[in-house]
Amino acid sequence: NAGVTQTPKFQVLKTGQSMTLQCAQDMNHEYMSWYRQDPGMGLRLIHYSVGAGITDQGEVPNGYNVSRSTTEDFPLRLLSAAPSQTSVYFCASITTGRDYEQYFGPGTRLTVT
Amino acid sequence: AQRVTQPEKLLSVFKGAPVELKCNYSYSGSPELFWYVQYSRQRLQLLLRHISRESIKGFTADLNKGETSFHLKKPFAQEEDSAMYYCALGSGNTGKLIFGQGTTLQVKP
């Protein structure tokens, strides 16, 4: 099992450009999340999904869109990149219940100039 | 409001010294608390969760509801423990986690 994969690993964008960060999991988890990691801020939840076709906003959703057409994939779209979106982005796939655990991807380091 | 606070950005200790990484939370209800660790340039991974009351890599954490704390402890630090540690609060069964700001643990030889 590959677990949770993310592409690309690194990306540089110019202000105003759009792009999609890819996230895929092969563990058949219903729940998935996107976080951004910034120094001194910890990880903050952007969007999450509790199953195909169901998404909801997290703490910092502005400027980002998500969709969940399949259980495996949960892409994050930046509509019009801004320097404030420079960050490291982590996707997580989640088991629920007593063995609750979030499995994180390796991250995407995004720089917006 | 649900909140997790890790008051120390950096904790520096010598190898063999005891370690305590502080975590305080704010949550109305029964909290689900976790510690995650991120070694240099690696992905976050679960270290331990309060519900299982286990010890991983010599680390333990006890939930103190009176003090709303979930401090991470290890009696003798090792150099390989150097990493970023995040305390996190689970929000019911939604899959959402609220993270603290993180504490960098630096274990010096």
Give tens-digit pLDDT for B11-40. Answer: 999 999 999 999 999 988 778 899 999 999
The dihedral region occupied by B16, where left means phi > 0, alpha psi between -120 and 50, and beta the remainder, is left
Q: pLDDT grade, residue B93 (50/70/90)?
A: low
Q: pLDDT grade, residue B50 (50/70/90)?
A: confident
The position carrying tokens 């005891």 is B18
Is B46 within 8 Å of A102 when comparing Cβ atoms? yes
pLDDT at A60: 95
pLDDT at A101: 82
How far apart, in Å, do the first and last CA atoms of chain A sit?
36
Is A45 within 8 Å of B49 when comparing Cβ atoms? no
Phi and psi of A70, rounded to 5°?
Answer: -135, 160
Residue A31 contacts B where some CB pair is shorter than 8 Å: yes
For residue B28, the tally of other CB atoms under 10 A from its CB is: 7
The position carrying tokens 């200790």 is B13
- Contact map slice: A 71-110 vs B, CB within 8 A: 90, 94, 96-98, 100-102, 104-107
pLDDT at B23: 97
DSSP annotation string for B55-94: -BTTBEE--BTTTTB--EEESS--GGG-EEEEEEEE-TTS
pLDDT at B41: 82
Is B44 within 8 Å of A100 when comparing Cβ atoms? no
Per the prediction, chain B carries an average pLDDT of: 90
Cα radius of gyration rounded to whole Å, chain A? 13
Give the CB-side neighbour count of residue B8, counting CA atoms within 13 A. Answer: 16
Dist CA A79 CA A65 (whole Å): 7
pLDDT at B92: 60
Angle (nearest 5°) at CA A38 between B41 and A78: 100
Per the prediction, chain A carries an average pLDDT of: 93
User: Chain B residue with minimal CA distance to A94?
Assistant: B95
pLDDT surpassing 90 at residue A97: no
Alpha-carbon distance A68 to nearest alpha carbon in chain B (angstroms)? 15
Neighbouring residues of A99: CB distance < 8 A, sequence distance ≥ 6: none
A13-27, A28-42, A50-64, B44-58 — which is least confidently predicted?
B44-58
Retrieve residue A81's tokens.
């990149």
Chain B residues interacting with chain A (CB cutoff of 8 angstroms): 4, 6, 9, 32, 36, 42-46, 49, 51, 86, 90, 93-102
Is B45 within 8 Å of A104 when comparing Cβ atoms? yes
A8-12, A18-22, A93-97, A109-113 — which is least confidently predicted?
A93-97
Name the β-bridge partners of A49: A32, A55
pLDDT surpassing 80 at residue A7: yes
Is B49 within 8 Å of A101 when comparing Cβ atoms? yes
CA-wise closest residue to B46 among A93, A75, A84: A93
pLDDT at A35: 96
Is B90 within 8 Å of A100 when comparing Cβ atoms? yes
Q: What is the pLDDT of residues A9-46, one digit of tens each?
A: 999 999 999 999 999 999 999 999 999 999 888 899 99
